[in-house]
């Protein structure tokens, strides 16, 4: 069976990326890994969700897992695995795709330009340039730059 990885940073545009990936998975009759890499390089103040965690990373991982489990529950027709880890998205997405023998990586791009692109970098751009596995990029902002 083919394996497709849908990776998301859980931003507001995640639904478009995930739904596009799931549609593609159905056409390929592929198993899906919903993958979120919590970027250890970014500071974060966890939301108050009524559960106390010992550190922000545990909190972020828990929230990501719950969010992706909800997506999985809405699509019982597909074999979906939820994978959440803490690390460097650029390297870890590629490494995970190689190790899991994925056929395709599906991800979004917000199309940052200017200073925000220089400061934040582009995970999608990096993965497109370095992945030995095909990458399907879902544009989440359709207006011209």
Six-digit token pair at 83?
Answer: 């994978």
The pLDDT, as a whole number, for residue 1 is: 64
Predicted confidence (pLDDT) at residue 134 exceeds the cutoff of 70: yes
Average pLDDT, the chain: 85
Instruction: Report the b/e string of 30-41 with b at 16+ CB within 10 A.
Output: bbbbbbbbbbee
CATH code for the domain of 14: 3.40.50.620
Segment 77-87 shows an average pLDDT of 96
Report which of 90, 70, 95 is spatially closest to residue 82, judged by C-alpha positions.
70
Report the domain count for the chain.
Answer: 1
What confidence score (pLDDT) does residue 101 get?
Answer: 96
Q: Please report whether residue 145 resides in a domain.
A: no
| pLDDT at position 118 | 45
Q: Quick one: CA dihedral 89, 91, 92, 96, positive or negative?
A: positive
Q: Who wins on pLDDT, 39 or 49?
A: 39
Is the pLDDT score of 144 beyond 70? no
Query: What per-residue confidence (pLDDT) applies to 80?
Result: 98
Q: Higher-confidence residue: 59 or 92?
A: 92
Whether 118 is covered by a domain: the verdict is yes
Mapping DSSP onto H, E and C, the string for 117-145 reads HHHHCCHHHHHHHHCCCCEEEEECCCCCC
Q: Does residue 144 lie in a domain region?
A: no
Q: H or E stretch including 129?
A: helix 123-130
Buried b (16+ CB within 10 A) or exposed e, 67-81: bbeebeeebeeeebe
Percent of the chain with pLDDT over 90: 63
Q: Is residue 88 part of a domain?
A: yes
Q: What's the confidence (pLDDT) of residue 39?
A: 87
Phi, psi of 120 (to 5 degrees): -85, -25
Q: Which domain holds residue 127?
A: 3-139
Q: What span, in angstroms and rounded, lies between the C-alpha atoms of 119 and 141?
A: 19
């Amino acid at each position: 069976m083919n394996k497709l990885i849908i990776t998301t940073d859980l931003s507001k545009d995640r639904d478009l990326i995930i739904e596009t990936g799931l549609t593609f998975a159905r056409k390929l009759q592929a198993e899906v890994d919903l993958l979120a890499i919590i970027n250890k390089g970014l500071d974060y103040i966890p939301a108050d969700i009524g559960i106390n965690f010992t550190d922000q990373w545990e909190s972020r991982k828990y929230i990501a897992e719950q969010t992706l489990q909800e997506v999985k529950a809405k699509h019982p027709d597909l074999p979906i695995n939820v994978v959440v880890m803490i690390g460097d998205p650029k390297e870890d997405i590629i490494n995970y795709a190689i190790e899991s023998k994925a056929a395709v990586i599906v991800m979004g791009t917000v199309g940052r330009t200017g200073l925000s692109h220089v400061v934040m970098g582009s995970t999608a751009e990096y993965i497109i340039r370095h992945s030995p596995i095909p990458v399907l990029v879902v544009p989440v902002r359709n207006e011209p730059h």
